[in-house]
Chain A
Amino acid sequence: MTTSGHVNQTIVVADDDVDICDLVEMLLSRLGFRVLTAHDGRTALSLIIDEKPCLAILDVMMPVMDGFEVVRALRSQPEATATKIILFSAKSRGGDTAFMKEQHVDDYIAKPFSPANLTQRVLDLLDVEGDPQDGGN
């Protein structure tokens, strides 16, 4: 795996569980992404609007604003449409796929997740967009 391929790309990670947030941050930092973290929905939304990251990974169950509310708020802001969104949740095993499609969320990862699986899916998602600097695998 490369550690420097995505330095210019910012990813916002939001989860109220600090351990999980740190884990994801570590995983993605290793790939060279600039990772910004938040522990509630409102902070996450501000970060996304301010930083306009290429990707936001949002936990569904968060205080203040939950993941769905953040998604809805983002989708109503034209300047944030470029940001891709991955939801992850411990709520159920693959249950919210319909909602995911409805909300135009780009991917959905169930907790507990395998770190390898997570990084793979992040890379896949960003690579589909034709990122020339493919550092995956």
Chain B
Amino acid sequence: MGQRVLVVVFALLVCLLGTVVYGNVNGSVEEFKLIGNTGSTTSNIVIMQRESLMYSLEVERWLAQTSTRRDVQIRRALLAQRLQARDSTGVANGERTHPEYFETLRQLDAAVDTSPAGFLPSALSSKLRVSLRGNLDQFTFEARELVGRISRAGDEQTKEIISAENDRRSFQGLVVLIILLVISLVSIYLATSRLKDFKVMRRGIADERAVLASTRGELNRVEHALSERIEEQKIDENQAKHLDASIRELNKKFRMDREASLVVGDLAKGLGDALKAEAVLFYSFNKILAPNYLLSGEAPETKHLDGSMLTRLESGVVQLVTDLWTKGAVDVMDDTANIQPDNTTLPLLLRESAKRVRSWLIVPMGEGSNVLGYISLAMVSGPRKWTLREIAMVQAVVANAATALVHRYALAQNVQIAEHEAVVKRLLELDKAKDDFIANVNHELRTPLTSIIGYVEMALEDASLESNPNLEKSLQTIERNAFRLQTLIEDMLELARLEANFLPATLEPVDIVNLVESVAKLLAPFSTGSGVEVAVTHRGRCFEVMGDSGQIEQVLTNLMSNAVKFTPKRGLVSIEVSETEKAVQITVADTGVGIPAGEIDSVFERFFRASTATEALIPGTGLGLSIVKQIVEGHGGTITFVSEVGVGTTFTVTLPRHQEPAPIVAEDVVGSRKA
């Protein structure tokens, strides 16, 4: 841009210079014309005067020399010829010649013509010479005057012109000088800027030349690499068939029904054979899926990679292999000779390996996001180039092996699950058989007992017994023991049933106070007969719990009948029902025989009977409290007791309150109960 402006400026200056120079030349021509014209007039006069003068002098000389007419005639002819000649301005010489001169000539001619001898008389000659001289003198004076005047006038005019001309020329010269200077400066500037451009250009060229050189180098390298690659490819192609065949064979072995150790062994051996690796190491991070480690190959130098060392290095190796697995990469070392001695970034395992092994290929093994381990192929005798095809192949094989291992594990898990399921099924069948057995025993035991009790009772009604007290006593004994047997059967079956399924059979709102009162009513004949007072009190408003009313009734029956049973005459059994925020609490307190402190831990054991009870010959099966505990806990409740021998025992049962229904429903329940 700047350059373009400069070029335009330069062109303009050249134009200006041209204009000035042309104007100068033009002006000069005009001036010269003017001067020429003036000069011509002046010089013509001067020439004319000088011609005349010259001619007069010639004539005078001629007169002095002339001797014959013929000479005179010749000279006159010549003179006439000369006088008739015209100058550049078209004026004849004769016209400019002084008139006196011509008069003299005429006289001369006449004298010569009249002379008989043809010689000019000396008298005449002298006379003529004198007159001529006079003419000449006058003429010369006039001429001198004229010339002087003209030359003076001419000098002044010339001086003026020259001065003006000089002024003009000096101004023009200055302008031209300035223009030339500016042109020079512009030229210099342009030249320097061009020079700068040139330098830049030259540097650019140098750079490009360098780039070109490096590109050429790169190209060479790439070409080299390419040719190597092509070579490699050729070798690959040759190996490909062999490899593919080996791999196909190998992959066939990775079935999920094979033992993990066999899969791993095949993997290591197969890869070692296919790739002609001198040592193959398999290492598993997952001891469940596969054997810990396996070293295949003959190279003794690799024996340092034993299990203990691997275990020692495992954390670092796990990190290395996990990184590889995450990136989908492998660790390739063609030649350990290329490792820089100060390379500390190499993981410890690899540094250890580098001491003995020349070349390796480490491929991580995994499934999904889980890294299972790795397989490492190593060369000891020398370096080895691991080709991309080989690496890809190893990766593919390792992936297949991993899948096989994982599937095998999953299969094993499934087998285990199936086994567990079979066990559970068998247990359920056994449970069912037990239930059936219980139901059977239940029926089979009760049926004969029904007959025994029924017939004994009927027999005892017979009036004839009054005459046979022994028979009556026998029948009563049978009846009492039948009842005992019945109780024992009931308790045993109930306990067995609870153990099979101790959870409540049904869940319904159960009002504890109602239940306590009805049980107390049922027990009334028995307690009255024993002379024991039963008192039921309750504090609170809502005594509903969620549960199986039959089971809870049994809890209350067992606790309350026990209390009555173990309480001597005139004793007191007091049952209190109270509510807490989240539970309904039932305390059954008696003034009975009590339980010795040493036996407290055994109270809820099956068939346990307190020594105080056996000593007092109080009958029982030792199953009642065990049943109570099972039911209470099955309902999410608790049972505790305090006891003192000779003072009495207090059982406290807590059952979670029924809080399920909304208040309106609860009111409805209360209302219906009142109704």
A binding-site residues for B, Cβ under 8 Å: 17, 19-20, 23, 26-27, 61, 90-95, 111-116
Residues of A within 8 A of B452 (CB): 112
B454 at the A interface (CB under 8 A): yes
B457 at the A interface (CB under 8 A): yes
User: A114 CA to B455 CA in the complex, in Å?
Assistant: 10
Name the distance in Å between B648's Cβ and chain A's nearest Cβ. Answer: 30
User: 21 A-B Cβ contacts within 8 A?
Assistant: A17-B447, A19-B455, A20-B447, A23-B450, A23-B455, A23-B458, A26-B458, A90-B446, A90-B447, A91-B442, A92-B442, A93-B490, A111-B446, A111-B447, A112-B446, A112-B452, A112-B453, A112-B486, A114-B453, A114-B454, A115-B458
Contact flag A20-B451 (CB < 8 Å), given A94-B550, A112-B486: yes
Residues of B within 8 A of A115 (CB): 454, 457-458
Residue of B nearest to A93 (CB): B490
A sample of 19 more A-B contacts (CB under 8 A), given A23-B451, A23-B454, is A20-B447, A23-B455, A26-B458, A90-B442, A90-B450, A91-B439, A91-B442, A92-B439, A92-B442, A93-B490, A94-B550, A111-B446, A111-B450, A112-B452, A112-B453, A112-B454, A114-B457, A115-B457, A116-B457
Residues of A within 8 A of B442 (CB): 90-92
Q: Are A91 and B449 in contact (CB under 8 A)?
A: no
Residues of A within 8 A of B446 (CB): 90, 111-112
B443 is contacted by which of A19, A23, A27, A90 (Cβ under 8 Å)? A90
**What 1/0 flags go to B484-527 for Cβ under 8 Å of A?**
00100010001000000000000000000000000000000000
Name the distance in Å between A60's Cβ and chain B's nearest Cβ. Answer: 9
Residues of B within 8 A of A112 (CB): 446, 449-450, 452-454, 482, 486
**What 1/0 flags go to B452-474 for Cβ under 8 Å of A?**
11110110000000000000000
Judged by DSSP, the binding face of A is loop
Residue of B nearest to A21 (CB): B451
Residue of A nearest to B505 (CB): A95
B binding-site residues for A, Cβ under 8 Å: 439, 442-443, 446-447, 449-455, 457-458, 482, 486, 490, 494, 550
Residue of A nearest to B483 (CB): A112
User: A122 CA to B223 CA in the complex, in Å?
Assistant: 115
Name the distance in Å between B655's Cβ and chain A's nearest Cβ. Answer: 21
A20 is contacted by which of B454, B458, B482, B550 (Cβ under 8 Å)? B454
**Most chain B Cβ neighbours within 10 Å, of A27, A93, A113, A116:** A93
Residue of A nearest to B451 (CB): A19
Name the distance in Å between B13's Cβ and chain A's nearest Cβ. Answer: 128
User: A61 CA to B436 CA in the complex, in Å?
Assistant: 14
Residues of B within 8 A of A92 (CB): 439, 442
Q: Are A113 and B447 in contact (CB under 8 A)?
A: no
Name the distance in Å between B418's Cβ and chain A's nearest Cβ. Answer: 37
Residues of A within 8 A of B450 (CB): 17, 20, 23, 90, 111-113
Residue of A nearest to B489 (CB): A112
Name the distance in Å between B89's Cβ and chain A's nearest Cβ. Answer: 170
**Most chain B Cβ neighbours within 10 Å, of A19, A91, A111:** A111
Residues of A within 8 A of B494 (CB): 93
Name the distance in Å between A76's Cβ and chain B's nearest Cβ. Answer: 27
Residues of A within 8 A of B454 (CB): 20, 23, 27, 112-115
List 6 A-B pairs, minimum CB-CB distance, nearest first. A90-B446, A112-B450, A19-B451, A111-B450, A23-B454, A90-B443
Residue of B nearest to A90 (CB): B446
User: A111 CA to B451 CA in the complex, in Å?
Assistant: 9
User: A116 CA to B456 CA in the complex, in Å?
Assistant: 12
User: A79 CA to B454 CA in the complex, in Å?
Assistant: 33
Residues of B within 8 A of A26 (CB): 458
User: A17 CA to B450 CA in the complex, in Å?
Assistant: 10
User: A111 CA to B453 CA in the complex, in Å?
Assistant: 10
Residue of B nearest to A59 (CB): B447
Residue of B nearest to A88 (CB): B450
Residues of A within 8 A of B455 (CB): 19, 23
Residue of A nearest to B454 (CB): A23
Q: Are B451 and A27 in contact (CB under 8 A)?
A: no
User: A90 CA to B458 CA in the complex, in Å?
Assistant: 20
User: A45 CA to B308 CA in the complex, in Å?
Assistant: 84
User: A27 CA to B442 CA in the complex, in Å?
Assistant: 25
User: A95 CA to B486 CA in the complex, in Å?
Assistant: 17
Name the distance in Å between B623's Cβ and chain A's nearest Cβ. Answer: 14
Residues of A within 8 A of B451 (CB): 17, 19-20, 23
User: A92 CA to B446 CA in the complex, in Å?
Assistant: 9
Residue of A nearest to B449 (CB): A112
Residues of A within 8 A of B449 (CB): 111-112
User: A133 CA to B46 CA in the complex, in Å?
Assistant: 206
User: A44 CA to B494 CA in the complex, in Å?
Assistant: 32
Residues of A within 8 A of B447 (CB): 17, 20, 90, 111
Residues of B within 8 A of A114 (CB): 453-454, 457
Name the distance in Å between B525's Cβ and chain A's nearest Cβ. Answer: 13
**Most chain B Cβ neighbours within 10 Å, of A61, A90, A114:** A90
User: A94 CA to B490 CA in the complex, in Å?
Assistant: 12
Name the distance in Å between A59's Cβ and chain B's nearest Cβ. Answer: 9
User: A19 CA to B450 CA in the complex, in Å?
Assistant: 9
Residue of B nearest to A89 (CB): B443
Residues of A within 8 A of B486 (CB): 112
Q: Are A91 and B453 in contact (CB under 8 A)?
A: no
Residue of B nearest to A24 (CB): B454
Residues of B within 8 A of A23 (CB): 450-451, 454-455, 458
User: A10 CA to B350 CA in the complex, in Å?
Assistant: 103
Name the distance in Å between A66's Cβ and chain B's nearest Cβ. Answer: 12
Name the distance in Å between A105's Cβ and chain B's nearest Cβ. Answer: 18
Name the distance in Å between B463's Cβ and chain A's nearest Cβ. Answer: 12
User: A17 CA to B486 CA in the complex, in Å?
Assistant: 18
User: A110 CA to B170 CA in the complex, in Å?
Assistant: 159
Residues of B within 8 A of A116 (CB): 457
Name the distance in Å between B459's Cβ and chain A's nearest Cβ. Answer: 10
**Most chain B Cβ neighbours within 10 Å, of A23, A111, A112:** A112
User: A114 CA to B550 CA in the complex, in Å?
Assistant: 21
Residues of A within 8 A of B439 (CB): 91-92
User: A113 CA to B439 CA in the complex, in Å?
Assistant: 18
Name the distance in Å between B554's Cβ and chain A's nearest Cβ. Answer: 9
User: A91 CA to B486 CA in the complex, in Å?
Assistant: 14
Residues of B within 8 A of A111 (CB): 446-447, 449-450
Residue of B nearest to A98 (CB): B506
Name the distance in Å between A137's Cβ and chain B's nearest Cβ. Answer: 14
A61 is contacted by which of B443, B453, B458, B490 (Cβ under 8 Å)? B443
User: A27 CA to B454 CA in the complex, in Å?
Assistant: 9
User: A114 CA to B482 CA in the complex, in Å?
Assistant: 12
Name the distance in Å between A58's Cβ and chain B's nearest Cβ. Answer: 15
Name the distance in Å between A101's Cβ and chain B's nearest Cβ. Answer: 14
Name the distance in Å between A114's Cβ and chain B's nearest Cβ. Answer: 6
Residue of B nearest to A110 (CB): B446
User: A27 CA to B449 CA in the complex, in Å?
Assistant: 17
User: A91 CA to B440 CA in the complex, in Å?
Assistant: 8
Residues of B within 8 A of A61 (CB): 443
User: A5 CA to B627 CA in the complex, in Å?
Assistant: 45
Name the distance in Å between A14's Cβ and chain B's nearest Cβ. Answer: 14
